[in-house]
A and B are shown apart, each in its own frame.
Chain A
């Protein structure tokens, strides 16, 4: 005698089809035998709920059941073979299911324990095989500011005495980790090597600073250049360029040099922003001093008051 299918699914006799389906899904997610490889009871319970759902999930069958034309006993599903039955078979008998098995989930145990390495190294075949991926090696690499901005190649010495050429892509950020596939320690049982993980530390530059893709630079200019304007050489990450300082430039004026910023992956570059700072000559020139003392307009101008000029 089978149990009442409504009770099996935990729904009321007047539940909607929607509710019945939701109740079934909820139970099936918990009880599907393949999602419970080690639970023997799951199969029996899953059979019960799927049988109940076969009956109630079909409005026509459900109506016949409600009218008493059929009973719940007819609803049992034929014996089903689950995937877990194949995956559980010991040794060669399981043959076919073995190729799906993965040992990724405990590769780290086998790395540190020779008994477990023996255990997992013995089987053959399988998806990840019983091959074990080698561990990653962490590195720390100091990179010059300009190398980080422009990109560079650096040579790393590995613990085993060999060397590794690391390509630093332009625009790399401080703290970024470069992963060099297969440059870590070798794998077990023919497994792939681990990766080299290189943490980048950028050494600051004495004059350039970086803001995202842009470079900032403070540029000292003379009083004459500020007043009269002129062309000056400005350092950029790729070498000096000539820039025009407009007539009447001030300390704090920011000029932009397009395309001279930080290199990017797409081959473009950010911009360089140059902040001007007016620097007076180290020794005060008597001619300048006498001009300034007789300069009425200069006297009237108070830069600490807004508006006046």
Chain B
């Protein structure tokens, strides 16, 4: 866990910027009773937001949309990964049935 000051320092962001991003829900620090803690994942996410706004010229509205869609994609990808792992455990004939079904549908 990173303290607030350390997070700002490593993310190379002003405190006010971090506050605004937290307020917008773009960053969700873990809250304890007395302070907010940031993770390495939060740091990478902050870097992404920085890339979007500074390098790619995306405005705030655009960033909100991108983050929302990205969060959906990651949710989907996790679901797909879990599904894929579960399918790998099925008996060979069930997998063959499934493959046939998928092939029929993709035609």
- Asked if A28 is at the interface (CB within 8 A of a chain B CB), the reply is yes
Residue in contact with A96 in the complex, picked from B42, B66, B74, CB distance below 8 Å: B42
Residue in contact with A102 in the complex, picked from B41, B57, B72, CB distance below 8 Å: B72
B44: nearest residue on chain A (CB-CB)?
Answer: A83
- Asked if A127 is at the interface (CB within 8 A of a chain B CB), the reply is yes
Residue in contact with B68 in the complex, picked from A24, A102, A122, CB distance below 8 Å: A102
Q: How far is the CB of A34 from chain B (nearest CB, A)?
A: 5
Q: Is A105 within 8 A of B75, CB to CB? A: yes
Interface centre among B71, B74, B77 (most CB of A within 10 A): B74
Q: Is A88 within 8 A of B40, CB to CB? A: no
- Asked if B14 is at the interface (CB within 8 A of a chain A CB), the reply is no
A interface footprint on B12-27 (CB within 8 Å = 1, 0 otherwise) = 0000000000000000
Q: Is A100 within 8 A of B71, CB to CB? A: yes
Number of residues in B with C-beta < 8 Å to the partner?
A: 31
Q: Please indicate the chain A residues that have their CB under 8 angstroms from the CB of B39 in the complex.
A: 95-96
A86 to B41, CA, bound (A): 6
Q: How far is the CB of A57 from chain B (nearest CB, A)?
A: 9
A32 to B63, CA, bound (A): 14
A25 to B66, CA, bound (A): 16
- Asked if B36 is at the interface (CB within 8 A of a chain A CB), the reply is no
Q: Please indicate the chain A residues that have their CB under 8 angstroms from the CB of B42 in the complex.
A: 96
Interface centre among B76, B79, B83 (most CB of A within 10 A): B79
A100 to B77, CA, bound (A): 13
Q: Is B51 within 8 A of A101, CB to CB? A: no
Q: Could you list 14 examples of A-B contacts with CB < 8 Å?
A: A24-B55, A25-B56, A34-B51, A81-B44, A82-B48, A83-B41, A96-B41, A97-B41, A102-B68, A103-B75, A106-B75, A106-B76, A119-B83, A123-B82
A positions within 8 Å CB-CB of B: 24-25, 28-29, 32, 34-35, 37-38, 50, 80-88, 90, 94-97, 99-106, 116, 119-120, 122-123, 126-128
What 8 additional pairs, Cβ within 8 angstroms, besides A24-B55, A37-B70, A81-B40? Answer: A83-B70, A95-B39, A101-B75, A101-B78, A104-B75, A119-B82, A120-B79, A127-B71
